[in-house]
C-alpha cells in the first residue's frame, strides 16, 4: 500500500487552503471526547471502488505540529467485498511529527453491502477489533511493531497502546481517494455511494472492565446527529471530496454518509437503502434449535428460493458452487457434543460441504448423495463438539450441486458439571504447603468416578463423594510438588458414560528461610533443602562454606563433630549441614542466614541414647513440644530462650520453632 493512502481518515491540516473539490462526502465527529471504552457499530459499507466506509477514534488537534497524533481505525474497502483494515496511529509526544501506524488487513467475511457489527475495545492494556462478535486482532501494551512490517523503525515505532492514551472523538466518514492500489480504481459513474449506520453503543471503561450500562444512538432523527456530532466541512490532500453538511442525513432509521458529484447531494431512496429500508437482521442462534438455511448473517455466491410446501414455509439455499459459503452466528450455552441434522436435496448427488467454527474446520466434508430431485429432501446426521460461548459457524460448499433447507442442533450428551472448589487457575502456592484439592462433580445420572491428574499422570481415582485429594489421604506427592508450574486436571465420568474434564494451572513457589544470627553463640536448624549448587561436577549446596557464604562465621559444633574457620578444612570433622538437624553456631559478627529451596520432610531427628544431644526443628510452623516429648523420652529441653520439662509448671518455652535448635537431655 502507498504511504499517502494509508494516511487515511485523517489529514486535517491546512484544509482551508485546498482547492474546492468536484465531489462532496460525509463526515461527523462527536462533540464528546472519551478515553477508553467499548464501541459497537452496526454498519453497512459501500461497494463502490475507490471509497472507504469508516468508524474511527481521533484526537482533536492531532493534525497540528504541537499536538501528538492519536487515532484508532476501522476502514472498509469499496474495491473488495470481503476486506477491511484496522489501524492504530500515534506519535510519541506533542513535538513528534513522524506519524507511526500499524496497519492490518482482514478478510474472510462479506463486508461490502452487508450489515456487519464492528466492535472496538480500547483500554490502557490492549486494543482489540471484532466483527460480528469474533475477535480478529488484538495488540497489547508494550507490543512492538514487528520487524517484517513496513512501519518497523528499528524498534522505535513501538507500543501504540501505551502512546494512544488521550481522550478522542468518535467519528465516521465516507470518502474517496485518488485512484490507487489502497482503495482501488475510481469511476464517478458509480455515484452516489452510501455508508449506513443503524446503531451505535459506547460502554465506559471503569478501570477493571466496561460498564454494563451503555450509551446508545439509534439514529432515528437528524437531531440525534446534530445534538451529538459536528458535521465536517473540510477536506485533506488525499481526499477527492469536500466534506459537506449536505452529505450526512437520516433515512428510514439509518444514518447515512454519502459521496456525490457536487450539487447532486440527495438522501438515499428505494433500493439504495439496505433492504429497501427494512431494519437489518442480525441472527444470533442460541442452541439447541433448528436454524433455517436462509437465517445466515453473511453469505457469498448463494441464492435462495421458495421451498416445496411439504417442507413447510420459508426458503432454502440453492445454486451452490464450490467455495460459496454461508455464516451463522451461534451461541452455545454449554460445552458438549451436539448432533446436527442437515436437511439437503440433490438431483445428481456427488455434492458436499464442510463445517467450520471460528475458522477451524470441524467436519471436512458432509457428503450429499442423490435424493431424487432438487425438492426431494433427506436428512444427514453429524456430531459436532462445541464449546460454550459465541461462535461463527460456516458452511462452505466443497462440491457443487445441492440445496440446503435447515440444520437442527440437539445436545448429544450432557456432560457432568465439574469444577475445582478450593483452587483457582494460575494460583500460586508456597513450596511445602500441604496441598488439598477438592472437586465438585454432578450429573443427572450420578457420578461413577472422578480422576485427578497431575502433569498428565493419574494420581488417584475417587469413586465416592466428596472428591478430595491431599489432606487426610495417601496423596503424599501433592505435598512434594517441585518448584515450577503444574497442570491439575480432573476428569469426571457419569453413570451413563458421559465425560467432562477441567484443568487449572498452579505455580509452586520456592521457599525461603531466614534466620537471624547474633554475635556469639546461636542454636539453629534449617528446614529447607537448598537449591542445587554444582561446583566441579558436585552438588555443594549443603557444604558449610556454601550455607554460610558471606557470613562472618567462627565455628560450628554438634555433639560429635565441629568446624572451625581458624583451622585447615581437612581437620574439620563437620563438612556439611543436614537440614532438620541442630547446630551450635558461633558468629564473629551478627548476620542473617537466607536459604532458598524446597521444604524437607518433617521428621524429627532424635536419639535413643541417654544424655545430652542437639535437636533441630524440621517443621515449617511451630509445633508444641508436648506433642513429641514426655517423661518417657525426655528429662529437659533448653536453648538460649529458656527451658521446658515434661509436666513442668514454669516452662519458659512451649514450642519447637522453625530456625531454632535445642539442647535435649534424654
* Each residue's pLDDT tens digit, 278-322: 655 666 799 999 999 989 887 877 888 899 999 988 899 998 999
What does the pLDDT average to over 398-411? Answer: 95
Q: Are 197 and 214 in contact (CB under 8 A)?
A: no
For domain 3-261, the CATH architecture is: Sandwich (2.60)
Going from N- to C-terminal start, the domains of the chain cover 3-261, 285-413, 417-509, 511-665
Cell of 481: 510438588
pLDDT digit string (tens) for 643-656? Answer: 999 988 899 999 99
Q: For residues 252 and 244, what is the distance between their CA atoms, to the nearest angstrom?
A: 21
Q: For residues 96 and 109, what is the distance between their CA atoms, to the nearest angstrom?
A: 37
What does the pLDDT average to over 82-105? Answer: 88
Q: For residues 37 and 33, what is the distance between their CA atoms, to the nearest angstrom?
A: 11
Q: Is the pLDDT of residue 154 over 60?
A: no
What's residue 9's pLDDT? 43
Q: Are 328 and 296 in contact (CB under 8 A)?
A: yes
Q: Is the pLDDT of residue 64 over 70?
A: yes
Any idea of the CA torsion for 570, 571, 573, 577, to the nearest 10 degrees?
-60
For residue 550, the SS3 value is coil
What does the pLDDT average to over 651-662? Answer: 95
Other CB atoms closer than 10 Å to residue 293's CB: what's the count?
25
Residues facing 378 on adjacent strands:
344
Q: Give the pairing of strands 591-599 and 528-530.
A: antiparallel
The residues, ordered by sequence, that sit 6+ positions from 369 with a Cβ below 8 Å of its Cβ are 346, 349, 350, 378
Q: For residues 286 and 332, what is the distance between their CA atoms, to the nearest angstrom?
A: 6
Instruction: Grade residue 266 by pLDDT with cuts at 50, 70 and 90.
Output: very high
Q: Is 323 exposed, middle or buried (0-12, 13-18, 19+ CB in 10 A)?
A: exposed
Cell of 38: 467499548
Fold equal for 285-413 and 417-509? no
What's residue 478's pLDDT? 81
Which of 3.90.550.10, 3.40.1190.20, 3.20.20.70, 2.60.40.10 is the CATH number of 417-509?
A: 2.60.40.10
Q: For residues 52 and 103, what is the distance between their CA atoms, to the nearest angstrom?
A: 15
Q: For residues 281 and 139, what is the distance between their CA atoms, to the nearest angstrom?
A: 31
What's residue 336's pLDDT? 82
What's residue 316's pLDDT? 94
Scored b (16 or more CB within 10 A) or e, 457-492 reads: eebeebeeeebbbbeeeebeebbebebeebebbbbb
Instruction: Grade residue 17 by pLDDT with cuts at 50, 70 and 90.
Output: very low
Scored b (16 or more CB within 10 A) or e, 425-441 reads: eeeeeebbbebbbbbbb
pLDDT digit string (tens) for 26-53? Answer: 999 999 999 999 999 999 999 999 999 9
pTM above 0.75, yes or no: no
The CATH superfamily holding the domain 285-413 is Galactose-binding domain-like (2.60.120.260)
Amino acid at each position: 500500500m502507498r504511504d499517502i493512502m494509508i494516511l487515511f481518515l485523517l489529514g486535517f491540516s491546512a484544509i482551508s487552503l485546498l482547492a474546492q473539490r468536484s465531489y462532496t462526502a460525509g463526515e461527523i465527529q462527536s462533540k464528546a471526547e472519551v478515553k477508553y471504552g467499548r464501541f459497537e457499530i452496526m454498519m453497512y459499507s459501500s461497494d463502490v471502488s475507490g471509497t472507504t466506509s469508516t468508524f474511527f477514534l481521533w484526537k482533536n488537534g492531532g493534525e497540528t505540529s504541537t499536538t501528538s497524533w492519536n487515532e484508532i481505525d476501522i476502514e472498509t474497502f469499496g474495491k473488495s467485498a470481503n476486506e477491511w483494515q484496522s489501524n492504530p496511529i500515534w506519535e510519541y509526544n506533542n513535538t513528534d511529527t513522524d506519524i507511526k501506524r500499524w496497519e492490518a488487513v482482514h478478510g474472510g467475511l462479506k463486508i461490502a453491502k452487508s450489515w456487519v457489527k464492528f466492535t472496538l475495545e480500547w483500554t490502557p492494556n490492549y486494543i482489540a477489533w471484532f466483527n460480528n462478535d469474533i475477535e480478529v486482532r488484538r495488540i497489547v501494551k508494550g507490543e512492538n511493531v514487528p520487524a517484517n512490517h513496513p512501519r518497523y523503525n528499528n524498534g522505535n515505532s513501538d507500543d501504540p497502546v501505551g502512546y494512544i492514551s488521550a481522550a478522542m472523538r468518535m467519528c465516521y466518514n465516507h470518502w474517496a481517494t485518488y485512484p490507487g492500489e489502497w482503495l482501488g480504481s475510481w469511476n464517478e459513474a458509480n455515484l452516489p455511494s452510501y455508508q449506513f449506520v443503524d446503531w451505535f453503543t459506547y460502554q465506559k471503561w471503569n478501570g477493571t472492565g466496561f460498564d454494563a450500562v451503555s450509551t446508545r444512538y439509534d439514529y432515528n432523527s437528524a437531531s440525534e446527529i446534530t445534538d451529538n456530532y459536528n458535521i465536517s466541512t473540510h477536506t485533506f490532500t488525499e481526499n477527492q471530496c469536500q466534506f459537506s453538511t449536505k452529505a450526512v442525513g437520516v433515512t428510514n432509521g439509518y444514518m447515512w454518509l454519502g459521496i456525490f458529484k457536487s450539487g447532486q447531494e440527495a438522501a438515499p431512496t428505494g433500493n439504495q437503502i439496505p433492504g429497501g429500508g427494512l431494519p437489518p437482521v442480525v441472527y444470533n442462534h442460541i442452541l439447541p434449535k433448528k436454524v433455517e438455511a436462509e437465517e445466515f448473517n453473511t453469505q457469498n455466491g448463494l441464492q435462495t428460493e421458495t421451498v416445496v410446501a411439504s417442507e413447510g414455509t420459508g426458503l432454502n439455499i440453492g445454486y451452490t458452487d464450490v467455495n460459496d459459503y454461508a455464516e451463522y452466528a451461534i451461541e452455545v450455552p454449554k460445552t458438549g457434543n451436539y448432533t446436527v441434522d442437515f436437511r439437503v436435496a440433490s438431483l445428481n448427488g456427488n455434492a458436499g460441504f464442510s463445517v467450520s467454527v471460528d475458522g477451524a474446520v470441524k467436519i471436512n466434508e458432509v457428503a450429499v448423495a442423490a435424493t431424487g430431485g432438487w425438492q426431494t429432501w433427506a436428512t444427514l446426521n453429524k456430531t459436532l463438539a462445541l464449546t460454550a460461548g459465541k461462535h461463527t459457524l460456516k458452511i462452505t460448499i466443497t462440491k457443487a450441486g445441492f440445496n440446503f433447507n435447515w440444520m437442527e442442533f440437539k445436545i448429544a450428551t450432557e456432560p457432568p458439571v465439574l469444577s475445582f472448589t478450593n483452587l483457582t487457575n494460575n494460583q500460586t502456592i508456597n513450596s511445602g504447603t500441604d496441598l488439598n484439592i477438592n472437586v465438585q462433580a454432578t450429573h443427572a445420572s450420578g457420578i461413577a468416578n472422578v480422576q485427578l491428574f497431575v502433569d498428565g499422570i493419574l494420581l488417584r481415582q475417587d469413586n465416592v463423594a466428596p472428591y478430595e485429594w491431599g489432606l487426610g489421604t495417601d496423596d503424599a506427592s501433592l505435598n512434594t510438588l517441585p518448584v515450577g508450574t503444574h497442570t491439575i486436571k480432573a476428569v469426571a465420568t457419569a453413570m451413563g458414560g458421559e465425560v467432562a474434564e477441567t484443568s487449572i494451572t498452579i505455580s509452586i513457589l520456592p521457599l525461603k528461610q531466614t534466620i537471624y544470627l547474633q554475635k556469639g553463640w546461636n542454636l539453629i536448624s534449617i528446614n529447607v533443602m537448598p537449591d542445587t549448587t554444582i561446583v566441579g561436577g558436585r552438588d555443594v549446596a549443603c557444604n558449610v562454606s556454601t550455607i554460610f557464604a558471606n557470613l562472618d562465621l567462627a565455628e560450628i559444633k554438634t555433639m560429635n563433630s565441629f568446624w572451625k574457620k581458624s583451622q585447615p578444612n581437612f581437620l574439620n570433622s563437620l563438612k556439611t549441614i543436614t537440614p532438620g538437624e541442630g547446630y551450635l553456631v558461633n558468629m564473629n559478627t551478627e548476620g542473617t542466614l537466607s536459604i532458598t529451596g524446597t521444604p524437607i520432610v518433617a521428621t524429627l531427628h532424635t536419639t535413643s541414647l541417654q544424655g545430652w544431644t542437639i535437636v533441630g526443628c524440621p517443621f515449617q510452623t511451630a509445633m508444641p513440644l508436648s506433642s513429641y516429648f514426655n517423661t518417657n523420652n525426655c528429662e529437659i529441653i533448653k536453648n538460649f530462650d529458656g527451658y521446658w520439662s515434661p509436666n513442668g509448671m514454669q516452662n519458659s518455652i512451649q514450642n519447637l520453632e522453625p530456625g531454632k535448635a535445642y539442647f535435649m537431655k534424654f
